[in-house]
A and B are shown apart, each in its own frame.
Chain A
């Protein structure tokens, strides 16, 4: 049972464009939603995270939008750059736990 569904599996964007990755969850006990970025040959690293008490969080060119009623959250990368080319994982964690449930990942390629 896939508790966090991530789409698309792969994404190709031109430099300067907007990259959008979507995730949906089922477990209403989730209360922390991090996004991880993974470059080839490296381990994932935390990019940005949100809690459900806010609908949006922005850090530089990266924004998480959160829709609690729809149980969906998304990552927007504005002005996408070739250096953003990586695999992105969404995740969800329920209160009292520290083990995230990961989406299956999105491979993003930004063409120059």
Chain B
């Protein structure tokens, strides 16, 4: 199993550009989440999904959109990038049997 994969690993954007961060998991987990990690702020939840076709907002959803058309994929879209979105983004999927979260390797995003 590849676990949780994320692409790209690094990305530089200009203010106002849009892009999609890809996330996929091959563990057949229903639950998936997106977090951003900033120094001293820990992991903050952006959006999450409890299954295909179902998404909801987390703690810091503004400026981000998600969709969940399949169990495997959970892309995160930045509609109009801002410097405040410079961060490291982690996707995670959760095994509902024991609540263990499996994180991807992260995407480091810089918005100029």
Report yes or no: B103 in contact with A43, Cβ–Cβ below 8 A: yes
Report yes or no: A104 in contact with B99, Cβ–Cβ below 8 A: no
Chain B contact surface mostly = strand
Report yes or no: A99 in contact with B106, Cβ–Cβ below 8 A: no
Report yes or no: B90 in contact with A98, Cβ–Cβ below 8 A: no
Report yes or no: A44 in contact with B94, Cβ–Cβ below 8 A: no
Report yes or no: A102 in contact with B99, Cβ–Cβ below 8 A: no
Choose one: A36, A43, A99, A104; the contact of B40 (CB below 8 Å).
Answer: A104
Q: List A residues 20-48 near B (Cβ within 8 Å).
A: 32, 34, 36, 41-46
Q: Complex formed: what's the CA distance from A46 to B98 in Å?
A: 12
Q: How far is the CB of B13 from chain A (nearest CB, A)?
A: 20
Report yes or no: A103 in contact with B42, Cβ–Cβ below 8 A: yes
Q: How far is the CB of B54 from chain A (nearest CB, A)?
A: 13
Report yes or no: A46 in contact with B42, Cβ–Cβ below 8 A: no
B45 near A: Cβ within 8 Å?
A: yes
Q: Complex formed: what's the CA distance from A36 to B42 in Å?
A: 12
* Residues of B in contact with A, size category: 20 to 34
B74 near A: Cβ within 8 Å?
A: no
A67 near B: Cβ within 8 Å?
A: no
Report yes or no: A42 in contact with B42, Cβ–Cβ below 8 A: no
Q: List A residues 49-102 near B (Cβ within 8 Å).
A: 49, 89, 93, 98-100, 102
Q: A43-B90, A93-B99 are in contact. Are A102 and B105 (CB under 8 A)?
A: no
Report yes or no: B103 in contact with A102, Cβ–Cβ below 8 A: no
| Chain A residues with CB below 8 A from B94, complex form | 98
Q: How far is the CB of A70 from chain B (nearest CB, A)?
A: 22
| Chain A residues with CB below 8 A from B45, complex form | 99
Q: A32-B99, A100-B101 are in contact. Are A44 and B42 (CB under 8 A)?
A: no
Q: A42-B106, A43-B90, A43-B104 are in contact. Are A89 and B99 (CB under 8 A)?
A: no
Q: Give me the interface of A with B, judged by CB distance under 8 Å.
A: 6, 9, 32, 34, 36, 41-46, 49, 89, 93, 98-100, 102-105
Closest 6 CB pairs of A and B: A43-B103, A104-B42, A102-B43, A98-B94, A102-B42, A105-B42
